[in-house]
Structure 1
Amino acid sequence: MSGTSGSVAAADSEFEILCDDAGSFLRRYSTEGGETGFTDTELDGTTAYTPTGTVVRCDVEQPPAANPLIDGTIQRQTGAGAVTITAGARSVTLVVYAGSPTVAIGGGAAVPVPAGTSLTWSVDRGGDAGESLQDDYVVTGVAGSDFLVSSTREV
């Protein structure tokens, strides 16, 4: 059998979705002619992308920001009146001592909450994760109501 011999230059590529301060993007690692490099694109694989901030694997949990400051409030309402906690809180807790005040979340329908009830809405993390409650919470009391509303938020 006869033939020729020689070498063939092979190219190899691998892809990985990474994250930075602006979100996720696609990094293509390639080896061609013995040289290794990478190209960053948006997730469409064609639009050029320039990372901003620290580049990390998206599935790796990042350490929280250096001890964010947390502000807490507590308000007691007896009788008619309303307590409003604006969007952006990390937690909201309602404790009803008497009456049946109503709770409206994000402008939705007001729902009565009977005496003896304690409710809490919260997020796991704030800081770099940017988690916060996205709705306003409005607790409205009527004659005979007695309730407590506490909340926390990053400052």
Structure 2
Amino acid sequence: MSGTSGSVAAATADDEYEILCDDAGSFLRRYSTEDGTTVATDTELDGVTAYAPSGDVVRCDAEQAAEPNPLIGSTAQRQTGAGAVTIAAGARSVTLVVYAGAPTVAIGGGTAVTLAAGTSLSWGVDRGGPGGEQLQDQFVFTGVAGSDFVISSTREV
């Protein structure tokens, strides 16, 4: 049995589409390639009505220019025996680990709560950056005789 095989190629345009946005809203951009030349044609979303972009053209799902990531400063403080550690309002995170004794914590000037040895607590916010979230309260950790605890915190610098 013998035969031949082959393919037939016809010269056709290669079209690709993308939905873009500008100051006026969404529109359709068609990229056509014919004879090695690419041509971009803008239309309304119906694909027929001509469209003239206004303002900056971006992908519709593109986020606005991202704010630069803030610098984050970290501190770790150990308190043994009597004494206090204060974390000012505006921190991004605060973490406490109690190793011994019964220190207390007062948040935002509220009533102090006694903590048992082995306690581990954390407070934090998700979004930082300029205008981002911060813990709004001051934290005051007070050690008594026999206390041993560590406080770590982060904040934008």
Superposed pair shares fold, TM > 0.5? yes
The letter for the 2-side match of 1:96 is V
**Which residue is equivalent to 2:91?**
89
The letter for the 2-side match of 1:104 is A
**Which residue is equivalent to 2:81?**
79
Contact 1:106 1:137 in 2 (8 A): yes
Q: CA deviation at 1:90?
A: 0.2
* Corresponding residue to 1:147 among 146, 149, 155: 149
Q: CA deviation at 1:130?
A: 2.0
Percent identity, aligned pairs only, is 76
Contact 1:77 1:146 in 2 (8 A): yes
Q: Which has the larger radius of gyration?
A: 2
**Which residue is equivalent to 2:112?**
110
Structure 1 counterpart SS, 2:133: coil
Structure 2 stretches of 5 or more lacking a match?
1-62
The letter for the 2-side match of 1:70 is I
| In structure 1, distance between residues paired with 2:130 and 2:81 | 40
**Which residue is equivalent to 2:121?**
119
Superposition CA RMSD, Å: 1.8
Q: CA deviation at 1:65?
A: 2.4
Q: CA deviation at 1:64?
A: 5.3
**Which residue is equivalent to 2:132?**
130
| In structure 1, distance between residues paired with 2:74 and 2:137 | 17
Contact 1:95 1:149 in 2 (8 A): yes
List per-residue Cα deviations over 1:49-87 (Å, max 9, x = no partner). xxxxxxxxxxxx867521210000000000000000000
**Which residue is equivalent to 1:101?**
103
Structure 2 counterpart SS, 1:104: strand
Contact 2:70 2:130 in 1 (8 A): no
**What is the TM-score normalised by the length of structure 1?**
0.59
CA distance 1:87–1:63, shift in 2 (3 Å) = farther
| In structure 2, distance between residues paired with 1:112 and 1:152 | 24
Contact 1:64 1:127 in 2 (8 A): no
